[in-house]
Chains A and B, each alone.
Chain A
Amino acid sequence: MAYGIKLRVWGDYACFTRPEMKVERVSYDVMTPSAARGILEAIHWKPATRWVVDKIHVLKPIKFDNVRRNEVSSKIPKPNPATVMRENKQLYFLVDDGKNRQQRASTLLRNVEYVIEAHFVMTDKAGSEDNEGKHLDIFNRRARKGQFFHQPCLGCREFPASFELLDDEIPVSCYAGQEKDLGYMLLDIDFANDMTPLFFRASMNDGIIEPPSPLATEVCA
């Protein structure tokens, strides 16, 4: 844990969508490790580094809420962004077609607060000028100033996350002294392996979830 960091994140809404219910979205009870990784990457990430989430602390009680939103049912056709970049045009997507509309309901989380404990490892893309100390310093400096590459979010882009680098002790969770089985939870997507989803059996002890490393044997799909 020499290069570990602690980041407190919070927000009004969060939706860590379950893969089986991602049409009518239903959130996991708590933040998933891949969502935590996403937040860290929003603040600082380089090909030379890879974030590993060690612990997720759940500080506030798990509360669900519902919203219904009007969305579209199709994605931007794939070549479109490519041509736009090549020919320097404007990127747009016409969604006014009535058949393209979908009303979708989401069961999401309200009023969440987490502490992410994580560290990073160097990948084989690391050059001679990369070292752990340097990237740790960059991350700490950026996080302390509130800088990010893109707005960190709590599961969905529309639910922004506030964050703060935590130097002090981690606050005590409201689930301290309790044990809760969360069932199988998405750990991450194995991008090297045809984007296979990896799952792990999540359990929350004292409000802390300790995801295994994606490289651990217990999660290899």
Chain B
Amino acid sequence: MILHALNSYYQRMLDDPDAEMPAFGTSVENISFALVLGEDGSLRNIEDLRDGEGNKVKPRKMQVPAAVTRTSGVKANFLWDKAAYIFGADTDGATEKNRERFEAFNVFLHEIGKDVDDPGFVAVKKFLAQWNCSQAAESVARFQSWEDVCNANLVFRLDGVPGFIHDRPSVQREWLKYGQNDSAASVGQCLISGEENVPLAGVHTPIKGVRGGQTSGGYIVSFNASAFVSYHQDKASVAETSAFAYTTALNFLLSSYSRQKISIGDTTYIFWAKRPTSLEPFLADVFEPSEAEEEPAEQDDRKTAKDIHGLLKAVRDGKKPTDFMPDLETDVQFYILGLAPNAARLSIRFWQETSLGDLLEKVGQYYRELSMVRQYDSEPEFPPLWRLLVQTATLGKSENISPVLAGGLTRAMLTGCPYPQNLLPVVLDRIRAEHNVTYFRAALLKAYLLRNTKMEEVPVSFDPERKDSPYLLGRLFAVLEKAQEEAIPGANATVKDRYLGAAAATPQLVLPMLLKNSANHIAKLRKDSDKRGRAIYLDRMIQDINGELDDYPTTQNAQEQGLFMIGYYHQRKNFFTKNTQEG
């Protein structure tokens, strides 16, 4: 299923000329320079292929004959490689090891191109034959700075002829022929394509770009210990062509410029559709909407951001996504794959096949549950997942986010399953530790209460009609805090700093004492002629809320504490917005 879907994605992108999906036998590599050779093999120039200026120069992404998997030891690539292989020298000069590399490059070239009489190819052979490794730095320095060249990947070009030598048809033909003959591999049935009697891939290309993984890449398919082998089958029945297709597709989706990936916690998620859809390039923004205050640089991006916002609004309000984007095909199959590194391997943390419409519905439900009146207008209406997760972590540091919680929350968002059970206690813990109910925490509490405890209704904003005791207790606490704040402005430690957690957990222990204190605060306010009105207003409010409460419960469970915090948050928010309505 996973490899199968990736394989079909590769086939789909191969048909799309703009996608630049590398063909079989090639791979996309970072190339910085081209050596311009004369037909006699002399070095005429070194051409800078990099884009950008000054410190921002970036190597060009270029299709070259597929890279060998190099972990240790000497293995050369065909017609392109690092300076150490092509010049036999790098920063350390022409060391023994580098000469060995140079030799390997030469041998490999002759092995493949025995029968090639292409002038470009001959030029490369001649160039290698007359090259002097120990004078590499001086020879190169005539054209480019040696420091730049000696760490970069290089290709070849024939002077006066457009195109690169590895792109010349006769050379490519020879390379493909070599790739097919090379397989001393065993033969069998491919479990991706179903083809029989095809050469099976021994080592699959490593997958790069998964956050936290090794830079050289990790393997999805690997059998690197004896316990991983059953029935002596130490390789998967995957044909070489299929293995190439799925690894290329994966690397393509995971590449740094891919817009189809996001990282949440320790997992990297990628997604793609079976058929091209207008939403595919923006799906990352649906899961992780960019912040509203961030000004998109380009006109195009601004339009996209607006579109995404409108789409999210529509799905949150329970409308059909097609109402907003009429050309959207909601029945397209969608795949979401979550990968996490584990040693040199990659583990599949999440996999889902779903239709686009279904997915949007799930995301809409998620945002509907999360929707909460914002404390400040600058806060995002559709909070990105990482902002929510950071609110559950000690010191607000992303490295303190629990990977289990992050995974569970993502799963809940994408599949509609319940939120992780520990979400509620974790959020309450953070509130207790930091004495602060933020917009994000209130939203998380609301979402949890709605989905996991099947609470029928939790209001988005202040609801004076709501009569259940945890909510009222939360409101009461906010009023008591407000009374203190107005009576003693700038107090060092407020009621909230001292008692927020205790008031939520054990109201009966804390609230009577706070009420007594607040009588003092209100008395103080009343003595000030400017604030008398406030005193009466706050006093009446306390009376009103108390009138609805029979008794203070001795303890409240986590669920009730969650509602308490929401009541507190709403009441507090209400103090700051109501002024205009009061007139």
Contact = CB atoms under 8 A, between A and B. Distances in A.
Interface stretch (B85-93, B253-261, B342-350, B514-522): B342-350
| 9 closest A-B pairs by CB | A105-B347, A24-B347, A20-B236, A73-B225, A183-B4, A184-B191, A195-B231, A23-B228, A221-B189
Contact of A24 (B227, B230, B231, B346): B346
A22 B349 contact: no
Nearest to A73: B225
B146 interface: no
A199 interface: yes
Contact of A71 (B188, B192, B227, B233): B227
A19 B227 CA distance: 13
B348 A221 contact: no
Nearest to A17: B230
Contacts of A72: 227
A221 B188 contact: yes
Max chain B C-beta neighbours (<10 A), residue from A24, A107, A186, A195: A24
Interface string A16-44: 00011111101001000000000000000
Contacts of A184: 4, 190-192, 194
B56 interface: no
Contacts of A105: 340, 342, 347-349
15 contacts: A20-B238, A21-B221, A24-B220, A24-B342, A26-B351, A29-B1, A102-B343, A107-B348, A107-B349, A107-B351, A183-B4, A196-B188, A197-B188, A199-B189, A221-B188
Contacts of B352: 64
Interface string B200-236: 0000000000000000000011111111101111001
Contacts, number: 98
Contacts of B189: 197-199, 221
A64 B3 CA distance: 17
A127 to B, nearest CB: 29
B349 A104 contact: no
B226 A103 contact: no
Given A23-B225, A103-B342, A201-B194, 6 more contacts: A22-B230, A24-B220, A72-B227, A102-B227, A107-B348, A107-B351
Interface in B384-426: 407
B433 interface: no
A221 B4 contact: no
Contacts of B32: none
Interface string B325-361: 0000000000000001011011111111000000000
Interface in A7-22: 19-22
Given A26-B351, A107-B351, A221-B189, A19 B237 contact: yes
B236 A19 contact: yes
A74 B194 contact: no
A130 B192 CA distance: 41
Contacts of B231: 189, 195, 197
Nearest to B3: A20
B196 interface: yes
Interface string A169-208: 0000000000000111010010000011111010000000
A75 B351 contact: no
B2 interface: yes
Interface residues of A, number: 32
A22 B220 contact: no
Contact of A221 (B192, B196, B236, B343): B196
A111 interface: no
A197 B237 contact: yes
A192 B319 CA distance: 59
Nearest to A197: B237
A131 interface: no
A103 B343 contact: yes
Contacts of B227: 71-75, 102
B233 A21 contact: no
Interface in B176-191: 188-191
Max chain B C-beta neighbours (<10 A), residue from A29, A184, A195, A201: A184
Give the size category of B's interface with A.
35 or more
B225 A102 contact: yes
Contacts of B407: 66
Max chain B C-beta neighbours (<10 A), residue from A19, A29, A72: A19
Interface of A: 19-24, 26, 29, 64, 66, 71-75, 102-105, 107, 182-184, 186, 189, 195-199, 201, 221
A221 B345 CA distance: 29
Max chain B C-beta neighbours (<10 A), residue from A19, A20, A29, A201: A20
B184 to A, nearest CB: 17
B507 to A, nearest CB: 38
Contacts of A221: 188-189, 196
Contacts of B348: 21, 24, 26, 105, 107
A64 B347 CA distance: 14
B346 A75 contact: no
Contacts of B226: 73-75
Max chain B C-beta neighbours (<10 A), residue from A29, A73, A103: A73
A184 B194 CA distance: 7
A193 to B, nearest CB: 11
A183 B224 contact: no
Contacts of B349: 66, 105, 107
Contacts of A189: 231
Contacts of A66: 349-350, 407
A209 B497 CA distance: 61
A189 to B, nearest CB: 6
A87 to B, nearest CB: 24
B25 to A, nearest CB: 22
Contacts of A196: 188
Nearest to B196: A221
Nearest to A198: B189
A22 B220 CA distance: 10
Contacts of A201: 194
Given A105-B349, A195-B233, A199-B194, A23 B222 contact: yes
Nearest to A189: B231
A191 B233 CA distance: 12
Max chain A C-beta neighbours (<10 A), residue from B2, B196, B225, B226: B225
Contact of A26 (B2, B4, B194, B228): B2
B224 A23 contact: yes
B4 A23 contact: no
Contact of B345 (A23, A64, A75, A183): A23
A24 B196 CA distance: 26
Given A196-B188, A199-B194, A104 B1 contact: no
A71 B222 CA distance: 16
Contacts of B4: 183-184
A107 B267 CA distance: 14
Nearest to B2: A26
B229 to A, nearest CB: 8
A71 to B, nearest CB: 7
Contacts of A104: 342, 347
A75 B230 CA distance: 10
